[in-house]
Amino acid sequence: MATNEALDRSARVHIAGHRGLAGSAIWRALSAAGFSDLVGARSSEVDLRDRAATFDYLLSTRPDAVVLAAARVGGIVANNTYPAEFLSENLQIQVNVMDAAHAAGVQRLLFLGSSCIYPKFAEQPIRESSLLTGALEPTNDAYAIAKIAGIMQVQAHRRQYGVRWISAMPTNLYGPGDNFDPENSHVLPALLRRFHEAVESGADSVVLWGSGTPRREFLHVDDLGRAVVHLLDVYDEPETINVGVGEDVTIRELAETVADVVGFAGEIVQDTSRPDGTPRKLLDVTRLRALGWEPRIPLREGIESTYRWFLEHRAEARL
């Protein structure tokens, strides 16, 4: 793999989506790494679905680098319920930001995707070369297609304009700033809230959607932030690169860990009428580790710190 020179710490870096789960962690990591000129705009200030507004913003701020972490995201229910919006809005955001970045002369860009880009029955652990080798998981195929289009746009810009744009595909993320909505969130924050409320109400059981047998990998968002900084410094290839921990657990095991952290001692009941999604989704992170990066936050430790954050920030958390 080719490497590029480290990104200058005085470079102006725009983080699109800097108030979200991933974007805020990337901001923290860049700041901790010594970057002194970070910029971002709330969605209320610049709607990235608005092409003219996106162009105006990037042409006025003129960043040296862009991290594209803005997206419409959600769990299995949200993806399955609103596929049109997940496809359309993510395509709009990506095309607008990348086209505006090109117009502003941005030479360095990192596009953040998702591990759902890979085929439903990809060989495990999933290598980057598995992209476009099989059918997608139907419950989130619209979101996956949008993210695949983003990878293609990065590669097209590299090929046509010679810019050092890259893409990274993280596994399931969690951590401070997550969405804890019981219907629209991802599985880990949804479970944290569900078990917390069960303890508060004195419930003797909690329902777990699906069979509990699918296996998932979970990456603390602050580990993702450090990975993004590392990739901006050392990676320069057209092929996307996986970001994960290289280990997974069953959804049932995850639920039992969350229950233990929260202090729920009742019964966990499986609702098998709910969809399971992809049976397993574990990323092969050999290429990232070969570049010298390793995750630092074990799953239980990350769940404990995320639960503490939830308790401390319930007033402003997305509930």
Q: Known catalytic residues?
A: 143
Burial of 122 (0-12, 13-18, 19+ CB in 10 A): buried
Q: Is 24 left (phi over 0), alpha (psi -120 to 50) or beta?
A: alpha
Q: Between the CA of residue 220 and those of 79, 174, 278, what are the distances in Å?
A: 22, 5, 21
User: Residue 150 annotated as binding?
Assistant: no
User: Residue 281 annotated as binding?
Assistant: no
As separate numbers, helices (DSSP H) first and strands (DSSP E) second, the chain gives 10, 13
User: Residue 68 annotated as binding?
Assistant: no
User: Residue 75 annotated as binding?
Assistant: no
User: Residue 172 annotated as binding?
Assistant: yes
End-to-end CA distance of the chain: 42
User: Residue 173 annotated as binding?
Assistant: yes
User: Residue 74 annotated as binding?
Assistant: no
Asked if 25 and 219 touch (Cβ cutoff 8 Å), the reply is: no
User: Residue 212 annotated as binding?
Assistant: no
User: Residue 108 annotated as binding?
Assistant: no
The residue to which tokens 């966990």 are assigned: 268
Which residues define the annotated binding site for substrate?
A: 194, 209, 216, 276
Which residues define the annotated binding site for NADP(+)?
A: 17-23, 112-115, 147, 170-173, 186
Which residues define the annotated binding site?
A: 17-23, 112-115, 147, 170-173, 186, 194, 209, 216, 276
